[in-house]
């Protein structure tokens, strides 16, 4: 089976861009990715595109062909939707199609437009990733759902808001030099603890921002990359996806994310690696507690042990295994449908050495991307390795 | 966007009405797995033939949060406490009423009821301290 190479990546600036159309943002990201890859547009055989709430934000469904056209691609195009894991799922299906010999060149990416809906509209839009009848109608917001998990975690394992604050501080620090990040400013633990409460125990600085942006990757078969002499040293060597019960109250535990555990196990097995081999990770820190749950589900820490990782300096840029060197969703921003593919784009640059934070991981060979939907009722995990 | 209150949800609407009448129920499959309506197939084992059984008279709060930033549907309700409470073999998400949000705690014994949203008068599943 072929190794799937990441031949090119592209990202728009993530941030507050309410005036930008989705098609314009995706065209920018896809154009960058195609140029970065050095592939012919005519060779692109499919677009796998992730988007969560374009039907609400832009009154636009059937975005696949719209985005292919905007990117100058003449090929089949499908929109994938698994909430905040939409472009992780889109990329995974692209990887599988290339692995199975169905295609040699696929563009996988995503886009989300949110700020044109206003804060209230975006909050309501995000909430539809939860169960409308049994969660949303009870008043569960997205931060509220993760707050329920954070409270349960504190009760079961200990830890406190200050532990979580260190996650936010770390990710803001990592984004300082990242030009596509929404926030390029440092914050302190005190800033996090003193920020207005959103849904206790999570405050404003425990939460990712509302973001507009797009991401794209060009994935090719190993054979195509060699035949066309592409500079594509990074491969997707493992992929996994798993699901869980939709509503948080239907889970066996509120402090474990078994969909992520299962997706990680699949991806590790696929790649032939173990958690100890992983040099760096981009994980889905939509809220600070989500990074903690991700670290445990990926096998980097046992249950209850991930909460202090940032505080102890183990996941910081100079730690043993840096996590979210891009700034993560927290500081780089979270245009939800773009996030999964943006993690692959950031990891690719980190691994091939042209990321502003590549110096933190000069010898890294194995990276992991963890992309979650809802309260991890969907999860996609990818393993990336330097192979050339 | 379609207002969620403008269309019926068969199975769910009857469940809300039953809780409001003090006759709350959950569904139980032939294997004994509990779940909430509307549901045709047991999510645990795939069995059909789900039967309605009364909810226990009281439940226990497992986790909770006080929400200060609400969606437009609950903007006049904020701050409000949301919680997950277990009632026998099912868990339910609802708002905690009849107690100030800062006094809500895990382990609190509650009953389930239906109240109105302060924002749009739509029915909301609520818990009240027993």
CATH number at residue A350: 3.40.47.10
Please state the φ and ψ torsions of residue A120, each to the nearest 5 degrees: -65, -45
Set of chain B residues whose Cβ sits within 8 Å of the Cβ of A143: 67, 69
* Residue A57: domain span: 4-118+216-380
Closest in B43, B63, B106 to A245, CB measured: B43
Compute the distance between CA of residue A6 and CA of residue A135 in angstroms, rounded to an integer. Answer: 39
The per-residue pLDDT for range A105-160, each reduced to its tens digit, is 999 999 999 999 998 899 889 989 999 999 999 999 999 999 999 999 999 999 99
* pLDDT at residue number A3: 86
CA A161 to chain centre: 24
A156, two tokens: 């079961």
Q: Would you call B69 an interface residue with chain A, using a CB distance cutoff of 8 Å?
A: yes
Q: Is residue A89 part of a domain?
A: yes
Compute the distance between CA of residue A16 and CA of residue A267 in angstroms, rounded to an integer. Answer: 34
Q: Would you call B102 an interface residue with chain A, using a CB distance cutoff of 8 Å?
A: no
Q: Are strands A213-221 and A105-112 parallel, antiparallel or unpaired?
A: antiparallel
Set of chain A residues whose Cβ sits within 8 Å of the Cβ of B64: 148, 151
Compute the distance between CA of residue A278 and CA of residue A322 in angstroms, rounded to an integer. Answer: 10
Tell which of B65, B86, B112, B123 to mutate to test the A interface (max A CBs under 10 Å).
B65
Instruction: Determine whether the interchain pair A197/B36 forms a contact, defined as Cβ–Cβ distance below 8 Å.
Output: no
Residue keyed to tokens 């301290």 = B129
| Helix (H) or strand (E) segment spanning residue B84 | strand B80-87
Residue A132 CB burial class (10 angstroms; 0-12, 13-18, ≥19): middle
Q: How many CA atoms lie within 13 A of B93 on its CB side?
A: 25
A308, two tokens: 């202090």
The per-residue pLDDT for range B29-81, each reduced to its tens digit, is 999 999 999 999 999 999 999 999 999 999 999 999 999 999 999 999 999 99
A100 has catalytic annotation: no
Which regions of chain A are under pLDDT 50? none
Look at residue A48 and give its three-state secondary structure.
strand
Residues B6, B69, A15: CA angle, nearest 5 degrees? 100
Share of chain B above pLDDT 90, in %: 95
Set of chain B residues whose Cβ sits within 8 Å of the Cβ of A155: 63, 106
Compute the distance between CA of residue B31 and CA of residue B46 in angstroms, rounded to an integer. Answer: 10
* pLDDT at residue number A2: 77
* pLDDT at residue number B39: 97
DSSP state of A102: S
Tell which of B83, B84, B90, B92 to mutate to test the A interface (max A CBs under 10 Å).
B84
Compute the distance between CA of residue A225 and CA of residue A235 in angstroms, rounded to an integer. Answer: 11
- For chain A, the domain total comes to 1
Instruction: Let me know: does A386 contact A233? Beta carbons within 8 Å.
Output: yes
Please state the φ and ψ torsions of residue B62, each to the nearest 5 degrees: -100, -40
CA B23 to chain centre: 13
Q: Which string of DSSP letters, residue by residue, matches A185-242?
A: S---HHHHHHSPEEETTEEGGGBPPP-BEEEEEEEEEHHHHHHTT----EEEEEEEEE
Closest in A148, A196, A202 to B63, CB measured: A148
Residue B81 distance to chain A (closest CA, Å): 9
Instruction: Let me know: does A38 contact A7? Beta carbons within 8 Å.
Output: yes
Set of chain B residues whose Cβ sits within 8 Å of the Cβ of A196: 68
- Work out the pLDDT band at B3, boundaries 50, 70, 90: low
* pLDDT at residue number B45: 97
B2 has a pLDDT exceeding 60: no
Instruction: Let me know: does B93 contact B59? Beta carbons within 8 Å.
Output: no
pTM, two decimals, is 0.98
Q: Domains of chain B: which residue ranges? A: 7-55, 56-130
Work out how many CB contacts closer than 8 A connect A with B: 106
Instruction: Determine whether the interchain pair B91/A197 forms a contact, defined as Cβ–Cβ distance below 8 Å.
Output: no
A19, two tokens: 């005036």
* pLDDT at residue number A120: 87
Q: Is residue A187 part of a domain?
A: no
DSSP state of A84: B
Instruction: Determine whether the interchain pair B67/A198 forms a contact, defined as Cβ–Cβ distance below 8 Å.
Output: yes
Residue keyed to tokens 């068969």 = B10
In order of A129, A295, A315, A364, the CA distances from A322 in angstroms are 29, 11, 4, 10
Q: Is residue A201 part of a domain?
A: no
B5 has a pLDDT exceeding 90: no
A4, two tokens: 């799937």
What number of other Cβ atoms are within 10 A of residue A173's Cβ? 17
* pLDDT at residue number A8: 98
Instruction: List A385's β-bridge partners, or say none.
Output: A235, A366
Q: Is residue A291 part of a domain?
A: yes
Q: Is residue A81 part of a domain?
A: yes
């Amino acid at each position: 089976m072929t190794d799937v190479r990441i031949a090119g990546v592209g990202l728009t600036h993530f941030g507050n861009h309410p005036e930008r159309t989705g098609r314009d943002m995706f065209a920018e990201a896809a154009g960058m990715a195609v140029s970065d890859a050095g592939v012919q547009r005519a060779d692109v055989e499919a677009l796998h595109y992730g988007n969560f709430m374009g039907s609400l934000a832009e009154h636009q469904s059937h975005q696949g062909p719209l985005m292919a056209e905007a990117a100058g691609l003449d090929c089949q195009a499908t929109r994938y939707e698994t909430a905040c894991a939409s472009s992780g799922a889109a990329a995974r299906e692209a990887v599988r199609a290339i692995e199975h010999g169905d295609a040699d060149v696929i563009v996988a990416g995503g886009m989300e437009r949110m700020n044109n809906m206003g804060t209230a509209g975006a909050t309501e839009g995000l909430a539809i990733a939860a169960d409308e009848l049994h969660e949303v109608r009870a008043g569960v917001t997205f931060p509220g759902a993760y707050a329920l998990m954070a409270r349960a975690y504190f009760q079961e394992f200990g830890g406190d808001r200050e532990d979580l604050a260190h996650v936010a501080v770390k990710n803001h620090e990592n984004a300082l030099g990242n030009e596509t990040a929404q926030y390029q400013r440092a914050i302190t633990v005190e800033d996090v603890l003193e920020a207005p409460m959103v849904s206790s125990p999570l405050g404003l600085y425990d939460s990712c921002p509302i973001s507009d942006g797009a991401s794209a990757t060009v994935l090719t078969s190993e054979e195509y990359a060699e035949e066309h002499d592409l500079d594509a040293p990074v491969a997707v060597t493992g992929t996994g996806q798993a699901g869980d019960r939709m509503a948080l109250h239907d889970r066996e535990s509120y402090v474990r994310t078994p969909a992520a555990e299962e997706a990680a196990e699949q991806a590790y097995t696929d790649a032939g690696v173990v958690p100890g081999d992983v040099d760096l990770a981009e994980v889905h820190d939509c809220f600070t507690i989500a990074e903690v749950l991700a670290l445990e589900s990926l096998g980097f820490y046992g249950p209850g042990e991930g909460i202090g990782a940032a505080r102890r300096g183990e996941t910081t840029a100079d730690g043993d295994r840096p996590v979210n060197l891009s700034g993560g969703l927290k500081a780089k921003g979270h245009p939800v449908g773009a996030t999964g593919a943006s993690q692959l784009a950031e990891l690719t640059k980190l691994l091939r050495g042209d990321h502003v934070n590549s110096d933190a991981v000069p010898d890294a060979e194995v990276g992991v991307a963890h992309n979650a939907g809802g309260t991890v009722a969907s999860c996609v995990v990818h393993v990336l390795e330097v192979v050339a | 966007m379609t207002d969620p209150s403008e269309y019926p949800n068969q199975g769910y609407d009857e469940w809300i009405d039953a809780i409001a009448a003090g006759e709350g129920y959950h569904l139980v499959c032939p294997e004994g797995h509990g779940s909430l309506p509307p549901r045709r197939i047991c999510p645990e084992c795939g069995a059909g033939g789900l039967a309605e059984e009364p909810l226990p008279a009281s439940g226990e709060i497992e986790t909770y949060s006080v929400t200060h930033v609400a969606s437009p549907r609950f903007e006049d309700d904020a701050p409000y406490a949301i919680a997950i409470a277990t009632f026998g073999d099912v868990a339910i998400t609802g708002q905690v009423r009849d107690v100030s949000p800062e006094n809500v705690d895990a382990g609190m014994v509650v009953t389930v009821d239906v109240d109105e949203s302060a924002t749009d008068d739509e029915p909301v599943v609520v818990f009240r301290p027993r």
